[in-house]
Amino acid sequence: MILLENVSKRYEKSYAVRNLSLTVAKGELCCLIGPSGCGKSTTLKMINRMIEPSSGTIKVDGVDVHEVPVATLRRRMGYVIQSIGLFPHMTVLANIQVVPRLLRWEESRSRKRALELLELLGLSPDTYGGKYPAELSGGQAQRVGVARALAADPQILLMDEPFGALDPISREHLQNQFLAIQQELHKTIVFVTHDIDEAVRLGNKVALLRDGRLVQYGSPEQLLAAPADAFVKKFVGLDRALKRLSRLLAADFLHPANSVARQAPPELLEAEFRRLEGSDCARYLWVTDEENRLVGWVDGNNTTEKRLNMLEDLVEIDPADISVRPGYSLKQALAMFVQQSVACLPVVDDERRLQGEIRLADVLKS
């Protein structure tokens, strides 16, 4: 869908981008990454002609971008930047409706789209629709920025370090949310970041630039497994195996959970622990309530001392302290394994309902 052929941008005697050629297929998320000043933001801005290339050709759907009026070209592409750029005098809903109104959508259609996008991005329309940008947190404002970019349903999104100014917790949450949205919408995205972990986690393809030149272009797995040279190896870091875990999801390594209901009698507890003898996850039984929500565990080591009894042996927990979600990466799961010093972790949904469990042995084999 997006093709760059020998594209260069020159400023007097120096090049910001030099002889860059790459293709971003329809539905792919391509991350442009590299040191400061390598040309990644310049490349992004040449796609929608915010910066004009000095030479070379850029095509979108087979059409040279210079054959399309600039305003028309930009309205076909969503654009998200780190500073967000919301209009301070407009409400959240009005900000999201900017491009649909420029395209002369009917007001009912424009408003409906804005409300749908707020819901999609986890912002209640009733709570946030009438707020102004100054009343939003950084993470909330960035969600609105993404919603505005998606408002006219463009097939292409250009994103220039959209999560770069957020704190680590907000950033990780937005990355999770963004991946879920991309899995649903399948947009073609060019995403600039300076963070190799973010690029590996989000991208289908990663383009690593240095001094305006393309050093390596391929899938995250290719960059991590076979760095093209010493620069790439140093840039991706020594923890390449750990970075690869960020590409794998807990949901893909799910096992049936070893669990019992809170009302389980001692005989059932002991029978379950006998059944688990010799397995990787023989020590703990997860305990759920009548709605299958995780409430705690029973430690099988106690069977050597006395007969198990749910009233005495149930260890009640906050699921957030010991569980992971299906959408968590194996890298996130590994951190929880290390923190809790266990061989198995429960996997719960947003309502704390037990979905299964993942095993440390699977993570270490991946």
pLDDT digits (tens, 9 = 90+) for 210-246: 999 999 999 998 998 889 999 999 998 877 777 888 8
Does one domain contain both 332 and 294?
yes
Q: Average the pLDDT over 350-359 and give the result.
A: 92
Minimum mean pLDDT range among 110-124, 198-212, 237-251, 336-350: 237-251
- C-alpha closest to that of 289 among 339, 348, 226: 348
The answer for residues whose C-beta is within 8 angstroms of residue 52's C-beta and 6 or more apart is 46
Domain-terminating residue out of 205, 222, 245: 245
Confidence class of residue 9 from pLDDT cuts 50, 70 and 90? very high
Confidence class of residue 305 from pLDDT cuts 50, 70 and 90? low
Q: Average the pLDDT over 106-125 and give the result.
A: 91
pLDDT at residue 302, rounded to an integer: 65
Percent of the chain at pLDDT > 70 equals 98
Confidence class of residue 156 from pLDDT cuts 50, 70 and 90? very high
Is the pLDDT at 304 greater than 60, yes or no? Answer: no
pLDDT at residue 253, rounded to an integer: 93
Domain-terminating residue out of 245, 270, 293: 245
Does one domain contain both 303 and 225?
no
Number of domains in the chain: 2
Cα 280 off chain centre by: 30
Is the pLDDT at 61 greater than 60, yes or no? Answer: yes
CATH number assigned to the domain comprising residue 345: 3.10.580.10
Does one domain contain both 217 and 359?
no
- C-alpha closest to that of 32 among 45, 51, 14, 19: 45
| Amino acid occupying residue 257 | A
β 284-288/259-261 pair status: parallel
Does one domain contain both 141 and 174?
yes
Minimum mean pLDDT range among 190-204, 205-219, 266-280, 335-349: 266-280
Does one domain contain both 333 and 361?
yes
β 55-60/63-64 pair status: antiparallel
Distances 129 to 87, 102, 105, 162, 262 between C-alpha atoms, Å: 14, 20, 19, 21, 42
Does one domain contain both 113 and 221?
yes
Which residues pair with residue 294 across a beta bridge? 288
| Amino acid occupying residue 254 | L
Does one domain contain both 268 and 227?
no
Domain-terminating residue out of 215, 245, 275: 245
Does one domain contain both 240 and 312?
no
pTM of this prediction?
0.75
Minimum mean pLDDT range among 11-15, 233-237, 309-313: 309-313
| Amino acid occupying residue 10 | R
Average pLDDT for the chain = 89
Question: pLDDT per residue over 272-303, tens digit each?
Answer: 888 888 777 878 889 999 999 999 888 877 65
Main-chain dihedrals φ then ψ at residue 59, nearest 5 degrees: -125, 145
286 lies in which domain range? 250-365
Does one domain contain both 210 and 261?
no
Does one domain contain both 189 and 86?
yes
Question: pLDDT per residue over 65-81, tens digit each?
Answer: 999 999 899 988 988 88
3-state helix, strand, coil in the chain (%, to 5): 40, 25, 35
Asked whether 313 and 286 are in contact (CB, 8 A), the reply is: no
Does one domain contain both 266 and 224?
no
| Amino acid occupying residue 180 | A
Is the pLDDT at 34 greater than 90, yes or no? Answer: yes
CATH number assigned to the domain comprising residue 159: 3.40.50.300
Does one domain contain both 86 and 227?
yes
